[in-house]
Each structure stands twice: as C-alpha cells, then as structure tokens.
Structure 1
Amino acid sequence: MKIAFVGKGGSGKTTLSSLFIRHLAAARVPVVAVDADINQHLGVALGLNEAQAAALPPMGSQLPLIKDYLRGSNPRITSAEAMIKTTPPGEGSRLLRVGGVNPVYDACARPVRLDDATVRLMATGPFTASDLGVACYHSKVGAVELCLNHLVDGREEYVVVDMTAGSDSFASGMFTRFDMTFLVAEPTRKGVAVYRQYKEYARDYGVALKVVGNKVQGPDDLAFLRAEAGADLLVSVEHSDWVRAREKGRTPRFEDLEEPNRRALRTLHEAADATYERRDWERYTRQMVHFHLKNAESWANARTGTDLAAQVDPSFVLGEDVATVLDEDVATVLGEDVATPQPA
C-alpha cells in the first residue's frame, strides 16, 4: 500500500508519519519510508541523529542511475536522458518491489533500526547552496515520482511518504500515486483550510482522503474537526508524553506509546488495508499516462527534444501480475530473487 501524509506546515505530519512507520515495523510489515518534504525531518523523527540524517543519499543525485535501471529494455524509451519524472513503465521496464533487492535501493535507501525491526529510509535531499534561486522543490521529488510510477506493492507491503507541506504536491501528478492520503489537521481554521483545498483538488481523481486530527486538547477541538471534516475525519491523536520524550533525545520503546495513540495508529492501518480491495490498477496506470502527456505537452517535449507521448505503451497496465513476470528478469540481472522481502 502506498500512503501519503500531508498537512500544513507544523501540523505534525512528520511526527504522525514516523509513528505510523514505527507501528508498521512493530507489526513486522515490510516498509519503505520516503522523506519527500523539502524540510528533511523524517530521519530524525525515526531516531537518526542529525549527522546520520544529513548523510542519507539524496535520491535526486542518483537520478541517472534510477532512470537507467527503470528503463530496462523498454524499446519506447530511447535513452535514460529522455525519461522525465512522469515517464510510465511499459514492456521491458524494470519494476520495484517493496521488499526487493535492486540498484535503486542500494544507492538510495538506508536501513533504520526501530526497536526490533528495520525499515528502509529514502530521502529526496534538501536544497543546497547551488539550488538557491535556480531550482524548485519539484525538481527534487521527480525521483520519488518516477520510482512510485514503477513500483508494485502488494497486501501488507507499505510505502509511506512524508509529503511537502500544504498543497504543493498538486504541482505534479504524484498526489494520485497513493492508495490512501492521511491529511493531518489541527483544530484551527488554517488547519482545515488545507483540508478543504486538498479535497477540492483531489475530488476529480478519486484520491482516497482521510483526516487525522492532531493537537486535539478536548471535546471542543474534536467537535470543531467533526463539523469541518465530517465523515472524512477518521481519528484524532492525543498529546503524547512518548513523543515529547523522543523530541528531547530520549529513546523510549515504541511499546510504551500511550494506548489511545496506539489505538489511533491501528485505525490508520485498518483504513489503509481496506483500500487494497478497491485497488484499480487500470485507473492508476491511466492517471499516470494522463499526467505524463500533460507534462510532455507543457514543457518536457521542448526540454528533451523528443515526442514523449511515444513513451506510452497503450497495452501496458501496471499490476502485481506484471511484476511477477518482470521479477524474473530482474533476478537474472542481479543474481538473486528480488521478490523475496529482506528479513527485518
């Protein structure tokens, strides 16, 4: 399942996404965690120190490797340089699996130990001095979007993405890449304003959206969120001494998280799992192609000097059945079975 955490800056989305990742890891669910926020805090929230978090390899710096690997033997993609963030897979493309072994994970992912389990952590990378004034946030997350376009996940396999604040993610098609989007909202007018904006943008694309109330201090706060979000309000999270201890640099075990908050995380897990039965790979592929053609027409054809519409394989539909076949080719390349999740 591919899960996004969104919300306004300061809403607590990174904290909530890190807690959800810890919950999944404790349940022995394979997890790839991705920090796609321009302010890179997920690594620290998962227990890395500042130096360790800063040492995470930026996915953007590995974009040539990512493109070359995912391109595979796809005859519709003339070169890795002709690939853009929205390039869809087709016959001959290599696909990623959550628990797989591949050069992309080797270059970009690092293991993070969480109590008695391990997750993979990837990061877009922060802005650098060379980016200032000449680059935008979306140039950083292109590698994430390309990987999501080529990723096949099954039941009880999770990719959890901590997204950028506000509605910036709508500047690309990445917002349609998720089975469930959890919008973290404070009980304030600004908090619910982001929810309204996100819901309006997502409506035409069938994006599954649920609100997670945060910083709720009493019945009045909860009533406010219920009035504003209605049935979209899934659950609220209480103040946590466990989180406060983590923020002070202490290392409490996840099993000591307050039971009401553990119950809230179980609710998120159940809601995410429920989307599996409604998964529509044809629609997922169709939306991928839609945004690719839009990008091709608006800027990418001119940028690459290539008709990128020709990259679309009209007979290809992403899905678990396709991944099973292509896994055999990848295993031959790597000399190992990439479909088998690595043990935590």
Structure 2
Amino acid sequence: MRIAFVGKGGSGKTTLSALFSRHLARTGAPVLAIDGDINQHLAEALGHNDGPLDAPPLGAHLDRIKDYLRGTNPRITSREAMIKTTPPGRGSRLLRLLGDDELHTRHVRRVGEVPLMVTGEFDESDLGVACYHSKLGGVELYLSHLVDGPGEYVVVDMTAGADAFASGLFTRFDLTFLVAEPTRKGVSVYRQYREHAQEFGIRIAAVGNKVTGEDDLLFLKEQLGDDLLTHLVDSPWVRSAEQGRTEAGPESLEPLNRHALNILRETVDSHPRNWAALHAHAVEFHLRNARAWANGTTGLDLAAQVDPDFVPGPAALVV
C-alpha cells in the first residue's frame, strides 16, 4: 500500500510520515519511507543525527534509473525518450518492495528500523533552470514500476500544500492523508487538495494535528466534517525528540497519538488496490504530459509508449 502525507508547510506532515513509518516498522511490516519534500528532513524525523545521510538521491540519478527500469521494453527507445510519467510495459523491469535489485541496493539506507529513500535537495545548480518536480520524477517512476503487495507499505512525505498536484505523482497512492492544523490556513490547504482529489477520484482523509484541547478539535470537526478521520494531540514526546532531548523510543508516544496511528493503518488496510484503475490513472497523466510538452521536447509521439495489453500487478511479475 502506498501512502502520501501532504499538508501546509509546518503542519507536521514530515513528523507524521516518520511516526507512521516507525509505527509500521515496529509491527514487523515491510515499509519504505521516501522523502519527497523540497525540505529534506525526513531522515532527521526518523532519528538520524549522524551528519549527512549516505543515500544517493533519486533526483540526481534519473538517467541511470530510467536505463534500469526501461529494461528491454521496445516501446521506450532510449533514456531521453522516457519521461517521469512513462508507464511500464512488457519488457520493463518491475520491482518488488525492498527487493535485491540495483535500485533498492543503491538508493535505500536504513534509519533506525526504517528503510529510507530520498529525492535530494534543491541546490544551487537548479536555481533558475529547474523546478523541484523534476527531482520527483524518480519517485514517480519508482512507484509506477513497483509491484507491492498487501501488508507492504510505502510512505511518502510530499511537498507542501496543493503544489503536490503539479505532477501526476498524486495519482500513485492508495490513500493520501491531508495533515491539517486547527487553523484557517491549515484548513484552506485541505480544501484546495480536496477539490483536486475529487476531480480525479483520489482517495483522501484528513488528519488533525497539534490539537491542544476541545476548542481545537471542535474547530476541525466544524471545518472538515466527516473527512476528519482522526487527530493527534500536541506531543511533548515529539517536541523532546525534535530537540534531541529524549532517548525514549516511539513506544513512549502518548496513548492518544498511538491510537491515531492505529486508525491510520486500519484505514489504509481497509481499501484493497485496484491495479487496473491505478494503471489507468498513470496512462491518463502520461498522455496529458505527452500532449502538453513531452512530444514537442522529445520529437516523438509518446502515446506509443503505452502498452495496451499490459497492466502491472502480481501477475505481471511471473510473465
């Protein structure tokens, strides 16, 4: 199952991404966390404090990733012809979660109990010539070629705000959690996201965060209604962990917050994946990108990259 955490900057989506990833890992579930935010702080939130993380960022190795994933797919003639929305087809290399393959071996590093991938920071060489969504192409291609099964989890900390809709990556998830603080600004981002999600049939749920009392909770209930799945209270444990003042593990998280994490997992697990629908979304956004810019950039008709008889999923692994 693939889960995204989105929300206003400062809402706590990175903290919740880390807490949920650690919560899953402690149960023994296979889980991969991916830092897809322009501010790369997920490693720290997972407990890394030993200097730079030795994990080659996906965004800096897109050509190599494309060469690996396109495999022998005859519809993709070169790395230059492969864009971030290019869907897999027969001959493409499909991935098992945390498998013994080149991509996982090269790009995954363990932070505590959680394996982590990073997209990389937006650095000086990108200024004025690129947008951060170009770096997210590695995540989009990874998820498009991943065949993950029930009880396996990919948790992605996404870019802040409705900016997450600037690429087709938002269609790659089974469930998107919108983290909302009990403020007007926090709720306004939720409303933006909900409108976009409803347009494309994307499944979302709102998660209240930093709730300090009944007034905060009442505000969220009034503003979010039935979309409010659960909430987390303001956490002294999280604050201590972020300040490096606690040695206690996440098992010391407040009971109300641990209960909220259980609700998140139950909600994720309650919705089986429809592989055909997931792939149809990928094809739709690939064709949109092809028409909008990619055909002109590559000089090719990238609609031809769509393999009409192919649907990813467990059956495709044994073909």
TM-score by length of 2: 0.97
Are residues 1:253 and 2:278 paired?
no
Which is worse superposed, 152-161 or 245-254? Answer: 245-254
Are residues 1:224 and 2:219 paired?
yes
Q: What count of residue pairs does the alignment treat as equivalent?
A: 318
> Which residue does 1:272 correspond to in 2?
268
**Distance in 1, Cα, partners of 2:22 & 2:97:** 16
- Could you say what secondary structure the match of 1:18 adopts? helix
Q: How far has the Cα of 1:52 moved from its partner? A: 2.9
> Which residue does 2:202 correspond to in 1?
207
User: Is the CA contact 2:98–2:104 (under 8 Å) kept in the aligned structure 1?
Assistant: no
> Which residue does 1:27 correspond to in 2?
27
Q: How far has the Cα of 1:215 moved from its partner? A: 1.1
* Amino acid in structure 1 at the alignment position of 2:315: D
**Distance in 2, Cα, partners of 1:208 & 1:251:** 37
- Structure 2, unaligned runs of 5 or more: none
> Which residue does 1:194 correspond to in 2?
189
**Distance in 2, Cα, partners of 1:322 & 1:77:** 18
Q: How far has the Cα of 1:251 moved from its partner? A: 2.8
Are residues 1:70 and 2:65 paired?
no
> Which residue does 2:284 correspond to in 1?
290
User: Is the CA contact 1:60–1:142 (under 8 Å) kept in the aligned structure 2?
Assistant: yes
* Amino acid in structure 2 at the alignment position of 1:51: G
User: Is the CA contact 1:62–1:108 (under 8 Å) kept in the aligned structure 2?
Assistant: no
- Could you say what secondary structure the match of 2:106 adopts? helix
Q: How far has the Cα of 1:80 moved from its partner? A: 2.0
Q: Which runs of 4+ in 1 moved over 4 A?
A: none
User: Is the CA contact 1:212–1:234 (under 8 Å) kept in the aligned structure 2?
Assistant: yes
**Distance in 2, Cα, partners of 1:158 & 1:97:** 11
User: Is the CA contact 1:62–1:107 (under 8 Å) kept in the aligned structure 2?
Assistant: no
* Amino acid in structure 2 at the alignment position of 1:234: L
- Could you say what secondary structure the match of 1:49 adopts? coil
1:148 to 138, 143, 151: 143
**Distance in 2, Cα, partners of 1:174 & 1:37:** 13
User: Is the CA contact 1:65–1:104 (under 8 Å) kept in the aligned structure 2?
Assistant: no
Give me the CA root mean square deviation.
1.1
- Could you say what secondary structure the match of 2:176 adopts? strand
Q: How far has the Cα of 1:304 moved from its partner? A: 1.4
> Which residue does 2:300 correspond to in 1?
306
**Distance in 2, Cα, partners of 1:153 & 1:228:** 35
* Amino acid in structure 2 at the alignment position of 1:37: D
**Distance in 2, Cα, partners of 1:103 & 1:81:** 20
- Could you say what secondary structure the match of 2:303 adopts? helix
**Distance in 2, Cα, partners of 1:119 & 1:65:** 25
Q: How far has the Cα of 1:212 moved from its partner? A: 0.6
**Distance in 1, Cα, partners of 2:153 & 2:120:** 21
Q: Deviations over 1:53-81 (max 9, x none)?
A: 3x431101111121111111111111122
**Distance in 2, Cα, partners of 1:169 & 1:18:** 19
- Structure 1, unaligned runs of 5 or more: 327-344
> Which residue does 1:335 correspond to in 2?
none
Which is worse superposed, 158-167 or 130-139? Answer: 130-139
The alpha-carbon distance between structure 1 residues 218 and 38, as it changes in their structure 2 partners (threshold 3 A), is same
Matches within 5 A, 1:48-59: 48-49=48-49, 51-53=51-53, 55-59=54-58
* Amino acid in structure 2 at the alignment position of 1:12: G
* Amino acid in structure 2 at the alignment position of 1:264: A
- Could you say what secondary structure the match of 1:130 adopts? helix
- Could you say what secondary structure the match of 2:110 adopts? strand
Are residues 1:164 and 2:154 paired?
no
Identity of aligned residues (%): 61
Q: How far has the Cα of 1:141 moved from its partner? A: 0.5
- Could you say what secondary structure the match of 2:51 adopts? helix
Q: How far has the Cα of 1:23 moved from its partner? A: 0.2
Which is worse superposed, 34-43 or 236-245? Answer: 236-245
Q: How far has the Cα of 1:120 moved from its partner? A: 1.6
User: Is the CA contact 1:5–1:184 (under 8 Å) kept in the aligned structure 2?
Assistant: yes
> Which residue does 1:6 correspond to in 2?
6
Q: Deviations over 1:268-308 (max 9, x none)?
A: 000011112xx211111111001001111111111112211
- Could you say what secondary structure the match of 1:234 adopts? strand
> Which residue does 2:18 correspond to in 1?
18
